[in-house]
Structure 1
């Protein structure tokens, strides 16, 4: 009788010890993982944090980098019409390009998702080619396509009796050209991310929607998009950051011309800081991207956290 009375107590004590020991093991594993990744974290921090603070330091110096001027460089920029033109063009370039990349990536991802499994690998490989090719190399090919004398596009238009277009010589067409190339280069990234997200959507949801009488558009709007909201927000934020910092496409195609009509932050910072030998002013231009991207990141990430709390 005594043994029977004490058996439940011993079992309960053993079960109580197991969770605590499990938590301790997990805690030790997390600490070990952190210590193993610490060198990489320190390396990334040194490659990111130090240049950021050094740029802030440069932005407070004069052109000769010998005297402290505080916010003088920013005050000088705010009084220049070219600077505000660059701000408008950078926002137009980034927002328009990201919107078209997201739209095209979403459409192509649906196309590949509906392809039979045997053929998906081939389509994924072909559609990722623009994203795999180095941007500078592919932009040189686009430069030949836009060439004013030997343009393949103008040759094709001539076959239909359409007058040649100055793709890189007129402000409107030059903006269209740089956005087109950026969309061509970046859309495959959205495609592969959206394709991975589509494969994680349960088929049962589509079957239930079809039973309820939902058509193709309603299934996308009420099933696909809600399930993909987080990945859409993350890819949009990442692409927005990369597009704002884009340099090679605009530099190779137009060098900011004509008349600075296609200048964006990266190219104008290079012109001011390197070509004009005013590194502090160039650093000030590049730093102005930070508050714009920070505001965008706050709104997008806050929206993600809000959806997570609602879920």
Structure 2
């Protein structure tokens, strides 16, 4: 009778079966505990974000008196108004321009702060974060005084050099510039602190290797710094784009959408129609139009991040 030969690998695999199953059960229990621990936060997000969004969608389908269902009638009405398309154009130009300048200034300031000795760096970080820490409404009031047509500190300074006065908030082009300027001043420190944290995670050995290969300052930034910071840059840009697109307080305090609606954004025009104009469904329809634009931007940015992650 032939002897049965038991392979060592089969014995080892048989021993690993209960171990793998127990590990699987343990992971399942941990995921359940993790879900239960995050459940309060999920409920809070649903209460503060999902419910208002769903209610806004419901309001957008009603008439002005909120007594009759009109379907897409509010959107059809908006599409026929020139002011609506002007607001769409202004919102896109405002958001894209402000985010580009915030990212550029934040990147430059982050590099300058990164090269400061560590003992002095904490003090400079604190001072550079002041515009972002101060409530935007409060700092915008200070800028409003600087732009004042009669007692503008900017016009007084320019007058010393024989320039001006400039109608900062009275002419459409200058009003748009002023709103973007204040938004950049408020938001650039956020980019700075995010980029500074990312710069500190870049290994110094990469810069040393690039220097040995003869790379200059610009080549080290282009081939070492930017590739290592791409994900942080993309995520920060997406977050800032969402916040900038929905900006309300800066534009509302500085210009209230004027002159002649030339600085209105989605949020301010929605407030004008819904709260001041008494047409809440129409105002809700304007605010909802931000969602598809931001969704398209988020899809492109997140898809790019996911693509680079798969390549890595």
TM tier, smaller: over 0.9
Cα distance in 1 for partners of 2:305, 2:192 equals 21
Q: CA deviation at 1:49?
A: 1.1
What residue in structure 1 maps to residue 122 of structure 2?
A: 121
Question: What corresponds to 1:61 in structure 2?
Answer: 62
The residue aligned with 1:302 is 303
Mapped to 2, the partners of 1:70 and 1:228 lie a distance apart of 45
The aligned residue for residue 79 of structure 2 is 78
Cα distance, 1:18 vs. partner?
Answer: 4.7
Q: Deviations over 1:95-131 (max 9, x none)?
A: 0000000000000111111111111110110000000
Return the alpha-carbon distance in structure 2 between the equivalents of residues 8 and 263 of structure 1. Answer: 72
> Over aligned residues, Cα RMSD in angstroms?
1.8
Query: CA 1:11/1:70 → structure 2, altered by over 3 Å: closer, same or farther?
Result: closer
What per-residue deviation string (whole Å, max 9, x for no partner) do you get for residues 47-85 of structure 1?
111111111110011000001111110000000000000
Alignment partner, residue 254 of structure 2: 253
For 2:37, the equivalent position in structure 1 comes to 36
1:212 aligns with 2:213: yes
Task: Work out the CA distance in 1 between the residues paired with 2:162 and 2:123.
Answer: 37
CA displacement at 1:251 relative to structure 2? 0.3
Q: Distance in 2 between matches of 1:68 and 1:17?
A: 60
User: Counterparts of 2:13 and 2:270 in 1: how far apart (Å)?
Assistant: 68
Paired with 2:19 and 2:114, the residues of 1 have a C-alpha distance of 45
Deviation at 1:15, TM superposition (A): 6.3
Q: Kindly provide the CA deviation profile for residues 213-258 of structure 1, in whole angstroms up to 9, marking residues without a partner as x.
A: 0000000000010111111000000000000100000000000000
Unaligned 5+ segments in structure 2 are 1-5
Distance 2:154 2:168 in 1: 9
Partner Cα distance (1:210, 1:26) in 2: 46
Q: Deviations over 1:138-192 (max 9, x none)?
A: 0000000000011000010011111210100000000000000000000000001
State the partner residue of 1:132: 133
- Correspondence for 1:192: 193
> Structure 1 residues 150 and 35 mapped into 2: Cα distance closer, same or farther (>3 Å)?
same
In structure 2, the residue matched to 1:264 is: 265
Residue 277 of structure 1 aligns with which residue? Answer: 278
Distance of 2:214 and 2:177 partners within structure 1: 41
Residue 30 of structure 1 and its aligned partner are, at CA, apart by: 2.2
Aligned-partner Cα distance in 1 for 2:136–2:266: 18
If the length of structure 1 is used for normalisation, what is the TM-score? 0.95
Q: Distance in 2 between matches of 1:181 and 1:50?
A: 32
CA–CA distance in structure 2, aligned partners of residues 228 and 21 of structure 1: 40
3-state secondary structure, aligned to 1:140: helix
Deviation of 1:202 after TM superposition, in Å, equals 0.8
The count of aligned residue pairs is 307
Partner of 1:168: 169
Partner of 1:50: 51
Structure 2 CA distance for aligned equivalents of residues 272 and 9 of structure 1: 74
**What per-residue deviation string (whole Å, max 9, x for no partner) do you get for residues 245-287 of structure 1?**
0000000000000000000000000000010000000000000
Q: Which residue matches 2:180?
A: 179
Give 1:27 shift: 2.9
Hey, which bits of structure 1, 4+ residues long, moved more than 3 A?
Answer: 7-24
**Match of 2:66, SS?**
coil
